[in-house]
Structure 1
């Protein structure tokens, strides 16, 4: 049975009310640290995308993470430092608590018991994940030839954003002070992005906008924040607790409409989301302008 928007709102409100009243008998994993559930949302925003390094390990649980995502209800979410089990729980909570139904695909690069728990002989997968309200096809998961101090990679899917088919990438580059490794990784990623006229590249690039190793992606795409570019004069909002911009929504053949950065107590990276015009001409197609 498919519930209408009004029914989902009523159901979501009833769930929240019951959890408040019942308290300790709420489902295992419910937020006990005082994090309130957000107001139920009628549906996802069809032209909104989000990127978030959810931090592993960090304080906060999957109820907190689901609440953060539900507050903005994007059509597509790219997660980094994501364990498969965590993503499954986040997806389930988004549906059960907020009526937001997402599909999930994974770009696992590590099998890590320390990171993701599970049995030592059957550890959880760790890497990237994409949640999408629309079906996803043509999944590609690539581990970079050189990951630096930890295996890294990217994934890509074809899905629908703003009513248009678009290729969505999600990546996590090598940690700080590994510039040469990141430059090689950008080369691998950019070669795939260049094959698509319409692409959205989400991720934690572990580099500030004017870092030389990002030149390969800047040549193909623009930041979702039109004030942010690779020059030192760009006004780029920080996306981390250490006041650096490491997280990006790069756009190729897609026009940004509104861009927001939201600090969160549940990760050392902020949430970024942007609303898009997937049918318009991108900054790169329209010609040179403020970068």
Structure 2
């Protein structure tokens, strides 16, 4: 009886990361690129916990096939399955690095003595080197941090950062976090900063990042008259591709039924 109770408890604790049956490769929408776009980068908060299958998430990514994808609210098990689906179902091969900062079975399933790891992840079609994973000194209501890797974008070596800042109504905490992140970004002449910043463009706490980089949308800046396309279901821009020493070419915000954040992808010229 004790063994049976433990097994049942473990199954119950698997949570939203449990696979929902064997995936099959459905047709991608018209206009899907079909192969990795070497100068395209994407940021996407994939929403967790959410009742979403990883095969669906993989199909969304495969439609636009960026060279580099920064994911937030990512469980290691989910990312492993997303990467596997991308390769098996769509022939898209990605390397992966993790920037997990929290181990919590409530977020990522698993069992209490071996919970899933939660945080950021970067998928890149090219190998990644020099990974760093930094937890912010103050995460606010939940541990938060940033990760960074060096990889190839558009044929050039670029330092890529991926972060998720503290939740809304925690402006002072985010101000401390952007200070830490900006100090790391400033050390690189060519950098791409992806992430969910949980702040609108004119929020004071984003000032250290704006001082170093520009948004991929040249119309979007911290002034009151800026035109910034929303990236969330509540019609706010919280998701960014900040560029330092990299030229934006074309960007798109893609709505998705699988998260409360939209996908933001951009083609760039790192030369």
Normalised TM-score (structure 1): 0.84
Work out whether 1:30 is the aligned partner of 2:23: yes
Q: Which residue of 2 aligns with 1:230?
A: 222
What are the ranges of 5 or more consecutive residues in structure 1 without an aligned counterpart?
1-26, 280-291
CA spacing shift, 1:41–1:222, aligned 2, 3 Å: closer
Does the residue aligned with 2:64 lie in a helix, a strand or coil?
Answer: coil
What are the ranges of 5 or more consecutive residues in structure 2 without an aligned counterpart?
1-19
Distance 2:122 2:196 in 1: 14
Distance 1:117 1:37 in 2: 30
Q: Map 1:33-72 to 2 at 5 A.
A: 36-38=26-28, 42-72=34-64
Aligned structure 1 segments of 4 or more residues deviating by more than 3 angstroms: 39-42
Work out whether 1:269 is the aligned partner of 2:252: no
Bigger drift between 115-124 and 145-154 goes to 115-124
Q: Which residue of 2 aligns with 1:115?
A: 107
Deviation at 1:118, TM superposition (A): 1.1
Distance 1:115 1:144 in 2: 19
Work out whether 1:90 is the aligned partner of 2:82: yes
Distance 1:37 1:89 in 2: 19
Does the residue aligned with 1:131 lie in a helix, a strand or coil?
Answer: strand
> What is the total number of aligned residue pairs between the two structures?
250
Distance 1:263 1:232 in 2: 25
Instruction: Tell me if the contact between 2:52 and 2:258 (Cα under 8 Å) persists in the aligned partners.
Output: yes
Work out whether 1:207 is the aligned partner of 2:207: no
Deviation at 1:36, TM superposition (A): 4.3
Listed one character per residue, the Cα deviations across residues 69-120 of structure 1 (whole Å, up to 9, x for unaligned) are: 0000000000000000000000000000000000000001001101111122
One of 185, 191, 204 as aligned partner of 2:183: 191
Distance 1:133 1:217 in 2: 27
Deviation at 1:246, TM superposition (A): 0.2
One of 164, 180, 191 as aligned partner of 2:172: 180
Listed one character per residue, the Cα deviations across residues 239-274 of structure 1 (whole Å, up to 9, x for unaligned) are: 000000000000000000001001100000000000
Distance 1:83 1:200 in 2: 23
Distance 2:48 2:130 in 1: 28
Instruction: Tell me if the contact between 1:55 and 1:269 (Cα under 8 Å) persists in the aligned partners.
Output: yes
Q: What is the CA RMSD across the aligned residues, in angstroms? A: 1.4
Distance 1:30 1:160 in 2: 30
Normalised TM-score (structure 2): 0.90
Instruction: Tell me if the contact between 2:34 and 2:63 (Cα under 8 Å) persists in the aligned partners.
Output: no
Distance 1:47 1:144 in 2: 30
Q: Which residue of 2 aligns with 1:260?
A: 252
Deviation at 1:58, TM superposition (A): 1.4
Deviation at 1:37, TM superposition (A): 3.9
Work out whether 1:169 is the aligned partner of 2:180: no
Q: Map 1:122-161 to 2 at 5 A.
A: 122-161=114-153
